[in-house]
């Protein structure tokens, strides 16, 4: 709890309340200034994350292919089937592009 005096000085109930108010003011001041996670905070290195992205693209392409394969024969030439084929082709192209990426090694490696 804070009580405001006429001179704009705030008096707090306890040092803990003063510290909490200070931390809130500090947090409000630096809200938009977030730093990227440190190396120890990152779960994977950049090459591992790139490999994960390629795996996700492959899984997504497989899901769309399974969707296309599960459609009835009389719906193979419809608009949705064409869009599914186009999506699969674009995902395969993206997989090829990601596979070609050769990231540089880090400092001292």
Domain boundaries, the chain: 1-34, 46-100
Segment holding 23, helix H or strand E: helix 15-29
pLDDT exceeds cutoff 70 at 93: yes
Rg, the chain, Cα only: 27
Q: Nearest to residue 59, comparing CAs of 8, 18, 98? A: 98
Task: Give the predicted TM-score (pTM) of the model.
Answer: 0.57
Q: Above pLDDT 70, what percent of the chain?
A: 81
Q: What is the pLDDT of residue 97?
A: 95
């Amino acid at each position: 709890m804070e009580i405001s005096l006429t001179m704009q000085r705030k008096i707090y109930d306890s040092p803990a309340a003063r510290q909490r108010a200070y931390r809130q003011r500090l947090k409000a001041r630096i809200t938009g200034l977030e730093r990227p996670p440190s190396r120890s905070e990152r779960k994977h290195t950049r090459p591992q994350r790139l490999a994960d992205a390629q795996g996700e693209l492959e899984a997504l392409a497989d899901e769309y292919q399974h969707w296309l394969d599960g459609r009835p024969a009389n719906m193979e030439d419809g608009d949705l089937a064409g869009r599914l084929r186009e999506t699969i082709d674009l995902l395969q192209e993206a997989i090829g592009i990601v596979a070609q990426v050769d990231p540089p090694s880090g400092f001292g490696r």
